[in-house]
Amino acid sequence: MTLPNFPAEIRAPQGTLPGVSSFQVHFADHDILTAGDAPDVLVAMNPAALRANLGDLPQGATIIVDTHDFTARNLTKAGYESNPLDLLGDANDPLGAFAVQPVDLTGMTVEAVKEFGLSRKDAARAKNMFALGLLSWMYGRPTEPTIAFLEKRFAKVEAIRDANITAFKAGWNFGETTEAFVVSYEIKPAPMAPGVYRNITGNLALAYGLVAGGVQSGLPVFLGSYPITPASDILHELSKHKAFGVTTLQAEDEIAGIGSAIGASFAGSLGVTTTSGPGIALKSEAIGLAVMTELPLVVIDVQRGGPSTGLPTKTEQADLLQAMYGRNGEAPVPIVAPQSPGDCFDAALEAARIAITYRTPVMLLSDGYLANGSEPWRIPEIVDLPKIDPAFATAEDLTEDGKFQPYARDAETLARPWAPPGIAGLEHRIGGIEKADITGNISYDPANHDLMVRTRQAKIDRIADSLPPLEVDDPSGPPGHGKAKVLVIGWGSTYGPIGAGVRRVRKAGHHVAQVHLRHLNPFPHDLGDILHRYDKVLVPEMNLGQLSLLLRGRYLIDAIGYNQINGMPLKAADLEHHILTHLTHLSEELRAN
Amino acid sequence: MTATGLPFPGLRSGVELVPTTDQPQTGKDFTSDQEVRWCPGCGDYAVLKAVQGFLPDLGLRRENIVFVSGIGCSSRFPYYLDTYGMHSIHGRAPSIATGIATAREDLSVWVVTGDGDALSIGGNHLIHALRRNVNMTILLFNNRIYGLTKGQYSPTSEAGKITKSTPMGSLDHPFNPVSLALGAEATFVARTIDSDRKHLTTVLSAAAAHRGTSLVEIYQNCPIFNDGAFDTLKGADATEQLLRLEPGVQVTAHGHTWAHDPTEPDPTWQFALSRLDTDPHTPTPIGIFRQVERPTYDDQARAQLATARQAAPGEPTDRLAALIGSGDTWMVN
Amino acid sequence: MTYVISQGCIDLKDRACVDECPVDCIYEGPRMLYIHPDECVDCGACEPVCPVEAIAYEDDLPSESAGYLAINAEVFADLGSPGGAAGAGMMPADHPLVAAAQASA
Ligand code: SF4
Ligand code: SF4
Ligand code: SF4
């Protein structure tokens, strides 16, 4: 996606409390005819500005507040009885519908420009440029045109020119070092089901989903985690929910994060670890240990641009193959991916269900777009949430001669017994060395290894038996008899953009089907049939074609990728164009035949 | 528990929340059915025997004891004990044990590790466990060599050591594990020797009784790859070479003489003591260098949970409904 | 469990095993050596070095030597567990059955 240089429009105050001046900046990739109707971000320099502009903001918008001017006096002047910033993150947070970033804009600007010897007032004025620098970082805007503009604008007063440029750069740098992150999620157009709604970001929904996983299974939740963008908010959120029996341990590193979670799972908790791609790389060996010891574990990867440190604040879906294969040996791990911010709640519960039921680590692949994006979410009724049975081993699981068999298996799920310490007679040792079938003792026997490798794979494959049929969105006719010849299949956060793109295509009078995958390992049983029903299968992804590779390998179909790896979400307009192109090709092919 | 091994009465016991049994236990109860597979003469046998012999004295329920290990010769330890156990991955045992001990107050948690496992690949986890003071006992088998990978130098091997990977002598300066632990402000630090069952047992008892992370360095002979590493400290004529630490014992080092006090909160003098054997002419201290009380991570984590729970009465499902339904909401009909 | 020395050692006593024992639990009597059953850690280091194969793990003791399990234990009845043979010196007497045994050659 190319974005032209942005014009900064300075406008007169509009419909605000008296005395509040504001200006709107609109970044866009087309000609700007109006300043954006509803802003995505509000920079509130003081309480009055916050109050005056809040009404114009859509839910989920980002608000940057200058904490410096949120003084008691200013709050009173603006009619606030208490400081709304004090309640950030609380249940009754009046700004709960927004992503609020409190920043000491004035303080940092004054500090940044102090070498220019400006009066305090002039120095503080440069905070506008600090804010602009920060916004430029958040929206990935080039800095050169702004600097050129400032050089021209303040050419006459050297100190002011330099102070403004410095403040602008300082704001940009602040964004970079603190990894300020903002996205707005493109919602798939669809009628809203009746119910009570709220706005929710993906990371918040994920944290709630994990709390729900604990409540619905009756297990304490243990999160072992190391801070990393863009996953840290899950750690922050879960650390507030101790009353639900949630323990959070900020570990010394990624490996200790998962290590402590595995320990907690062994001890009978629902072990969880949260991270992003680089963290998954570090945790790989430990995930293998959880595969071998067959302990429940939820591993959350909030994907970001890679490889290496990559683009911490940009979104990408390039960890799918890492989640699928990124371990030594044959180490199958189920993969669950949420499709929208609110869906992170259900996906987390589903990951917990699979982990506990099948005694396995489960990978949940969110991404930066979902994590920080928000959408209206229909709040589920607790009675509608699935119950999860930990089915711990008991003394009744002993054999007739009083032996405990930690690697005997459930006939249906192939899950082994989960026997946390504390029950006499169930003492057993597990570990990373190959286990003998049934007894779990160390075994180097070749035939046993062959059996165990196949059994671990078979256990993961069995999960597909518990999955509901896929929902194919194809209004062109009944399954197998519709007019649509092209199926668009995606996974994860591309659901909204693909849905919007598909709708545009249909609006233009064409037929196209959409299916979206929540389970990437194992695939649902009916996926093969669905894929084979269509002449063309398009696979839009924010990577170089990882799902395409899996689909081709598994179903021997010619999956056609649409791949974008620029750190940005897919765009409905681009997808529409891509789909239409393929529809045209297809009709040409059909005509030629 | 029985009164075993409480050298400093008045401190909270490391096993006070672990259920006990009235059934008499013997070493045999703690012996699993797995064949022990260390090399003949390995010091690990002596430690295993000492642990099997001493666990019954604790009087704890066997099902409430967990041994966790990493990778290395000594890390096979859990397989030979009939308790709960996990033989995990290289270096990570302290982090796994941290999860276990934090999740469950009713378990006696042990880590078995070696000089490579604990000080090379797992160095980070070790120091952070010590800093956090999670309630667990770490047995660090120090044989100053890599045994399982067949004879490379380890982080405790003396500089200049000729090994398979250092034909011209190793260039690494070694760690002194006791100094390292004291530097990390561990709350319990001790050293003992594989061949001295009585001393080993006394130190292990004190370590188990300590509430917090106990680090016990065990000098362990590897007859295959580093035979005789501690021979000067063994046998009847080794008395001269050993400084047996007891509270109040007079020690002289670095031109000072002082009475050893393991309970002194400031680790400075205990650290000075740990440096004693840097000079080959002064004796090697064994025994308890330090035992001080500091709130444990796991106790405090559980206390925070309990406080939060008290402040939020009601059914979890109701509270969950309130949580997810918080903030600005609206109806769609 | 313990390792056990049996009749082969009587009057031979070449002490090859003593050098191998990591815990110094092989004690010398006037006519043979004895393994202290409580102090032995089952490490097996002594067994292969004995020139006359007099040492065996208690479960592997040949039937003609079965009595030596008790002999190795009983001989320490008065001594207790000194925790090291080097410091304990020569035992004052052999087990009565050993003392009474016929010289082998
Ligand atoms: S290699 Fe050394 S440390 Fe390892 S089992 Fe053999 S003797 Fe013991
Ligand atoms: S088995 Fe080991 S401990 Fe026992 S007597 Fe022989 S060498 Fe000594
Ligand atoms: S090596 Fe054999 S013969 Fe020699 S002293 Fe030991 S037991 Fe006796």
| CATH number, domain with residue A266 | 3.40.50.970
pLDDT at position A7 over 50: no
| Percent of all residues in chain A with a pLDDT value above 90, rounded to a whole number | 67
- A404 and A355: one domain? no
pLDDT at position A28 over 70: no
- What local confidence, expressed as pLDDT, does residue A58 receive? 74
- A261 and A173: one domain? no
Q: Does some domain include residue A192?
A: no
- Average pLDDT of the segment spanning B186-201: 96
- Average pLDDT of the segment spanning A344-369: 98
Residue B322 forms contact with A (CB below 8 Å): yes
- How high is the mean pLDDT of chain B? 93
Find where tokens 């009978």 sit: A268
Q: What six digits make up the tokens of A372? A: 């920080």
Determine how β-strand A221-225 pairs with β-strand A270-275.
parallel
Residue B229 forms contact with C (CB below 8 Å): no
Q: Does some domain include residue A509?
A: yes
- A152 and A77: one domain? yes
d(C-alpha A133, C-alpha A180), whole Å: 12
- What local confidence, expressed as pLDDT, does residue A69 receive? 87
Residue A92's CATH number = 3.40.920.10
Q: Which of A222, A260, A398 to mutate to test the interface with B (most CBs of B within 10 A)?
A: A260
Q: Which of B132, B319, B329, B333 to mutate to test the interface with A (most CBs of A within 10 A)?
A: B329
- A447 and A539: one domain? no
Residue C5: phi and psi, rounded to 5, are -100, 140
Question: Which residue type is seen at A17?
Answer: L
Q: Starting at the earlier edge strand, list the strands of the sheet with B329-332.
A: A374-378, A195-201, B329-332
**pLDDT tier at C72 (50, 70, 90 boundaries)?**
very high
Give pLDDT tens digits for A397-456: 999 999 999 999 999 999 999 999 999 999 999 999 999 999 999 999 999 999 999 999
Q: Which residue has the higher pLDDT, A132 or A297?
A: A297
Which chain A residues are Cβ-neighbours of B319 within 8 angstroms?
Answer: 243-244
Beta carbons of A161 and A94 less than 8 angstroms apart = no
| Closest C-alpha among B141, B273, B277 to residue B216 | B141
Q: Starting at the earlier edge strand, list the strands of the sheet with A513-517.
A: A513-517, A486-491, A536-541, A559-563
d(C-alpha B102, C-alpha A97), whole Å: 35
Which DSSP string do the residues of A520-547 spell out, in sequence order? Answer: EESPPTTHHHHHHTSSEEEEEESSSSHH
Q: Does some domain include residue A140?
A: yes
Please give the distance, rounded to the nearest whole angstrom, from the Cα atom of residue B151 to the centre of ligand 1: 10
**Which domains, and CATH codes, for chain C?**
3-85 (3.30.70.20)
pTM of this prediction exceeds 0.90: no
Task: Locate the domains of chain B by residue range.
Answer: 27-294
Query: What residues does B68 pair with on adjacent strands?
Result: B86, B111
- Average pLDDT of the segment spanning B260-283: 92
Query: What residues does B181 pair with on adjacent strands?
Result: none
Beta carbons of B26 and B58 less than 8 angstroms apart = no
Chains B and A touch (3+ CB pairs under 8 A): yes
pLDDT at position B91 over 90: yes
Query: What residues does A502 pair with on adjacent strands?
Result: none
Lowest-confidence segment of A32-46, A92-106, A326-340 by average pLDDT = A32-46
CA B257, chain centre distance (Å):
29
C-beta of C5 in contact with ligand 3 (< 6 A): yes
Q: Starting at the earlier edge strand, list the strands of the sheet with B136-142.
A: A429-431, B84-87, B65-69, B108-114, B136-142, B213-219, B188-193, B284-291, B242-245
pLDDT at position A34 over 50: no
- Average pLDDT of the segment spanning C45-57: 95
Q: Does some domain include residue A473?
A: no
**pLDDT tier at B170 (50, 70, 90 boundaries)?**
very high
- What local confidence, expressed as pLDDT, does residue A53 receive? 82
Q: Does some domain include residue A569?
A: yes
Task: Tell whether domain B27-294 is in CATH 3.90.1150.10.
Answer: no
- A132 and A240: one domain? no
* Contact residues of ligand 1, CB 6 A cut-off: B 38-39, 42, 44, 73, 143, 147, 222-225
Q: Which of B39, B150, B164 to mutate to test the pocket of ligand 1 (most atoms within 8 A of CB)?
A: B39
| Closest C-alpha among B251, B245, B252, B250 to residue B290 | B245
- What local confidence, expressed as pLDDT, does residue A8 receive? 31
Please give the distance, rounded to the nearest whole angstrom, from the Cα atom of residue A224 to the centre of ligand 2: 44
- A512 and A578: one domain? yes
Q: What six digits make up the tokens of A212? A: 């729900």
**pLDDT tier at B7 (50, 70, 90 boundaries)?**
very low
Q: Does some domain include residue A474?
A: no
Radius of gyration for the alpha carbons in chain A, expressed in angstroms and rounded:
27
Q: What is the DSSP secondary structure assignment for residue C103, as one 8-state letter?
A: P
Give pLDDT tens digits for A199-232: 899 999 999 999 999 999 999 999 999 999 999 9
Handedness of CA A248, A249, A253, A257 (dihedral sign): negative
- A380 and A397: one domain? no
- A169 and A284: one domain? no
Total domains present in chain A: 4
Question: Which residue's CA is minimally distant from atom 6 of ligand 3?
Answer: C17
Which residues contact residue A398 at a Cβ distance below 8 angstroms, ignoring those fewer than 6 apart?
A: A404, A425, A426
* CA of C3, nearest ligand number: 2
Output the 3-class SS for A51-102.
HHHHCCCCCCCEEEEEHHHCCHHHHHHCCCCCCHHHHCCCCCCCCCCCEEEE
pLDDT at position A17 over 60: no
d(C-alpha A87, C-alpha A206), whole Å: 21
Residue A554's CATH number = 3.40.50.920
pLDDT at position A1 over 50: no
- What local confidence, expressed as pLDDT, does residue B151 receive? 92
Give pLDDT tens digits for B125-164: 999 999 999 999 999 999 999 999 999 999 999 999 999 9
pLDDT at position B277 over 90: no
Which atom of ligand 3 has the smallest separation from the CA of C16? 1
Residue B115 forms contact with C (CB below 8 Å): no
Range of A125-139, B126-140, B241-255 with top mean pLDDT = B126-140
Which chain B residues are Cβ-neighbours of C39 within 8 angstroms?
Answer: 197
Give pLDDT tens digits for A517-550: 999 999 999 999 999 999 999 999 999 999 999 9
Which residues contact residue B163 at a Cβ distance below 8 angstroms, ignoring those fewer than 6 apart?
A: B145, B151, B152, B153, B157, B170, B225
- Average pLDDT of the segment spanning C37-48: 95
Q: Does some domain include residue A352?
A: yes
**pLDDT tier at B280 (50, 70, 90 boundaries)?**
confident
- Average pLDDT of the segment spanning A234-258: 98
- A364 and A425: one domain? no
Q: Quick one: which H or E segment has residue B140?
A: strand B136-142
- A104 and A209: one domain? no
**pLDDT tier at A29 (50, 70, 90 boundaries)?**
very low
Chains C and A touch (3+ CB pairs under 8 A): no
**pLDDT tier at A20 (50, 70, 90 boundaries)?**
low
Question: Which residue type is seen at B221?
Answer: N
Q: Which residue has the higher pLDDT, B279 or A265?
A: A265
Please name the residues between 114 and 173 in chain B that touch chain A, using a CB distance below 8 Å. 124-125, 128
- A379 and A404: one domain? no
* Cross-chain Cβ contact C24/B221 below 8 Å: no
Find where tokens 């804009």 sit: A105
Which residues contact residue B247 at a Cβ distance below 8 angstroms, ignoring those fewer than 6 apart?
A: B7, B8, B260, B261, B262, B263
End of a domain among A120, A145, A177?
A: A177
Handedness of CA A233, A236, A237, A239 (dihedral sign): positive
Q: Does some domain include residue A421?
A: yes
Determine how β-strand A335-336 pairs with β-strand B84-87.
unpaired
C-beta of C31 in contact with ligand 3 (< 6 A): no
Q: Which residue has the higher pLDDT, C72 or A375?
A: C72
- What local confidence, expressed as pLDDT, does residue A184 receive? 61
Handedness of CA A79, A81, A83, A88 (dihedral sign): negative
Output the 3-class SS for B82-107.
CCEEEECCCCCHHHHHHHHHHHCCCC
Please give the distance, rounded to the nearest whole angstrom, from the Cα atom of residue C80 to the centre of ligand 2: 18
- What local confidence, expressed as pLDDT, does residue A181 receive? 62
User: Helix, strand or coil for residue A135?
Assistant: helix
- A229 and A351: one domain? yes
Lowest-confidence segment of A143-152, B3-12, C76-85 by average pLDDT = B3-12
pLDDT at position C90 over 80: yes
Beta carbons of B217 and B178 less than 8 angstroms apart = yes
Beta carbons of A319 and A280 less than 8 angstroms apart = yes
- How high is the mean pLDDT of chain A? 89
End of a domain among A384, A403, A430?
A: A384
Beta carbons of B65 and B84 less than 8 angstroms apart = yes
| Closest C-alpha among A248, A576, A197 to residue B302 | A248
| Percent of all residues in chain B with a pLDDT value above 70, rounded to a whole number | 97
Beta carbons of A298 and A271 less than 8 angstroms apart = yes
Domain containing A299 equals 199-384
